[in-house]
Amino acid sequence: MIQNTKYEVMKFVEQGDRCYKGSDYIQGQLLAKYVQSNPYLEKAQIFLWITELVKQVEQYHRCKGAQPYQYVNPYMMVISEEGEVRLIDAKASSNTSLLTVANKQVIREHFLPEYLYDYSASDVDTDIYGIGKSIQYIFAMTLPNPALTKWEEYIFQKIVRNCLNSEAKQSYETPQDILKHLPKMKREGLTAMRIMRTIKGN
């Protein structure tokens, strides 16, 4: 059983075309740990998490003048008790232990491009690569209900391919480009309640 933990995460406030970053404390579980313990998830929830993830990376880039978040991987994302995915505040001193985990060789090798040895040389392309690898990880660790359609599989495979290959003809320059291609599903209230009960129950 994985216990909920309090994490310092980023909070974004939209004001017109501008975006401001703040911090928030939430109870929840790291995404990587959550999907390992709860692989049977509703498809709508998975779609929403992926959309929220990409949107938050995009918001971070706008707040920081296109500076990279750097640590885009499931070990730096939290599933809150409300069933939302939130990015860990990598600059917060309270998250030092999480950065230590993210910098482990096995994590770096999986979520960083081969040409990077650590996160210090990360750029926007690295964040986009991390989004692609995180999407791969989520689908590798879960069994969506209902299952993905052939069209959805094709779309996500294409998105991941374009995220991982910056030289591809249809590669992404910004997270906003990814948002335009993501399949959309609405999460019903019942689904939200199920997720909340599952997280609180763990």
Rounded to 10 degrees, the C-alpha dihedral 64/113/183/158 comes to: 140
Distance between first and last Cα of the chain: 6
| pLDDT, position 105 | 93
| pLDDT, position 55 | 96
**In contact, 29 and 50? CB cutoff 8 Å:** no
Mean pLDDT in the chain? 88
Q: How many residues does the chain have?
A: 202
CATH tag, 5-201: 1.10.510.10
The span from the CA of 75 to the CA of 198, in Å, is 19
Q: Which band of pLDDT confidence, cut at 50, 70 and 90, is reported for residue 184?
A: confident
**In contact, 8 and 88? CB cutoff 8 Å:** yes
Q: What are the sequence ranges of the domains in the chain?
A: 5-201
- Secondary structure (3-state) at 27: strand
pLDDT of 195 higher than 70: no
For residue 10, the cross-strand partners are 23
Q: Please, what's the largest Cα pairwise distance for the chain?
A: 45
pLDDT of 84 higher than 90: yes
Q: What is the pLDDT of residues 90-122, one digit of tens each?
A: 999 999 999 999 999 999 999 999 888 888 889
For residue 9, the cross-strand partners are 24, 88
Positions of E strands within the chain? 5-15, 18-30, 40-42, 77-80, 85-87, 143-145
